[in-house]
Amino acid sequence: MSGGQPETSTHRCGHVAIIGRPNVGKSTLINRLVGQKFSITSRKAQTTRHRLLGIKSSAAAQIIYVDTPGLHSGARGALNRYMNRAASGALVGVDLILFLVEAGRWTDGDSHVLERLADVEAPIIVAVNKIDKTSDKQTLLPFIDELSKRAEFLDVVPISALQGTNTERLEKLLIDAMPIAGALYDEDQFTDRSERFLAAEMVREKLTRRLGQELPYRLSVEIEAFQADDDLLKIGAIIWVERSSQKGIVIGRQGRVLKAVGSEARKDMEALFERKVFLELWVKVKEGWSNNESALQRLGYVD
């Protein structure tokens, strides 16, 4: 889409890829920076499956944030390989990498991400997230100092994406690192994804938050119907699982889980789409979909 602002001598515009190991807070941070919840979040790792853009526009700059699945080693299965490809692809052609790590906790997963960044030409800023959960603040400075020695970083910034601590300073650093250029997107656009995609992700978020550790990785959501009628949006979604036994878990006793998921997702949709939503959910079985390349493509997992 062509931008809504002309190029000026001071306006900045560029792409920032947010990268990190699974469950480090990338989606929470991008929602905070964009000022709009569009990337789903949960405490479970690998909640984000797709690469998507979050667009933040102001009079001075437009930053296009690239949200990615968490980079992880030993990716088994077609879905995991797809997510790693989506994350790696986000590193190409961006103006800056925002490498997110957790305060006081450096893992093998972080080392794996840093290794993947070794050949990236774009400058790297490190955001040390979850400082609000650091009980001993005196350990933070030594951690940042040690982190600074691991590679040539443009800066290292302690933040809390959840509470918004120091995110304004981070955003200023990001803007200053962007090239002088006109906006690429209209000023009221906050993502490159369609409403259908966002609706499916909202349903999947509620399922991920409600279900156990394993089942969320064995389900996907497909929007089958999406119809705007005056002030009412009618949405029909299929929740795909891999085995018949999982279907009962998603529906819940007397349909309680499915009803709760539908109610919570509908409220989020109404807030985002700014209209009443009628939402219908069905649960169906597609055996082995997460390890089937053709099934993944039909469900929208396309590089």
Note the pLDDT tens digit of each residue in 253-275. 999 999 999 999 999 999 999 99
Residue 269 is part of a domain; what is its CATH number? 3.30.300.20
Residue 216 to residue 199: CA distance in whole angstroms: 17
Whether the predicted pLDDT of 226 surpasses 70 = yes
Residues 39 and 73 in one domain: yes
Domain membership of residue 17 (yes or no) is yes
Whether the predicted pLDDT of 184 surpasses 90 = yes
Residues 157 and 23 in one domain: yes
Task: Name the percent of the chain lying above pLDDT 90.
Answer: 54
Domain membership of residue 83 (yes or no) is yes
Domain membership of residue 75 (yes or no) is yes
- Whole-number pLDDT of residue 301: 66
Confidence of residue 2 (pLDDT cuts 50, 70, 90): very low
Residue 127, helix vs strand vs coil: strand
Residues 25 and 76 in one domain: yes
Residue 143, C-beta contacts closer than 8 angstroms, at least 6 positions apart: 103, 104, 106, 128
Domain membership of residue 182 (yes or no) is no
Domain boundary among 111, 145, 177: 177
Residue 101 is part of a domain; what is its CATH number? 3.40.50.300
- Whole-number pLDDT of residue 99: 96
Neighbours of 212 (CB within 10 A): 8
Residue 53 to residue 93: CA distance in whole angstroms: 14
Residue 124, helix vs strand vs coil: strand
What phi and psi values does residue 16 have, to the nearest 5 degrees? -125, 115
What phi and psi values does residue 217 have, to the nearest 5 degrees? -85, -5
Domain membership of residue 46 (yes or no) is yes
Residues 168 and 210 in one domain: no
Higher-confidence position of 67 and 213: 67
- Whole-number pLDDT of residue 261: 95
237, exposed or middle or buried, with CB in 10 Å at 0-12, 13-18, 19+? buried
Cα–Cα distances in Å, from 54 out to 39, 57, 142, 170, 300?
Answer: 8, 10, 33, 16, 19
Residue 174, helix vs strand vs coil: helix
Domain membership of residue 187 (yes or no) is no
Give the domain extent around 264: 195-298
Note the pLDDT tens digit of each residue in 52-92. 789 999 999 999 998 876 554 555 666 666 566 655 666 77
Residue 166 to residue 130: CA distance in whole angstroms: 11
Nearest Cα to 125, choosing from 151, 106, 107?
Answer: 151
Whether the predicted pLDDT of 5 surpasses 50 = no
* Cβ–Cβ under 8 Å, residues 184 and 227: no
Domain boundary among 125, 144, 177: 177
Residues 260 and 290 in one domain: yes
Residues 171 and 202 in one domain: no
Domain membership of residue 52 (yes or no) is yes
Count: domains in the chain? 2
Domain membership of residue 19 (yes or no) is yes
Residue 103, C-beta contacts closer than 8 angstroms, at least 6 positions apart: 128, 129, 130, 131, 133, 134, 140, 143, 158
Residues 29 and 60 in one domain: yes
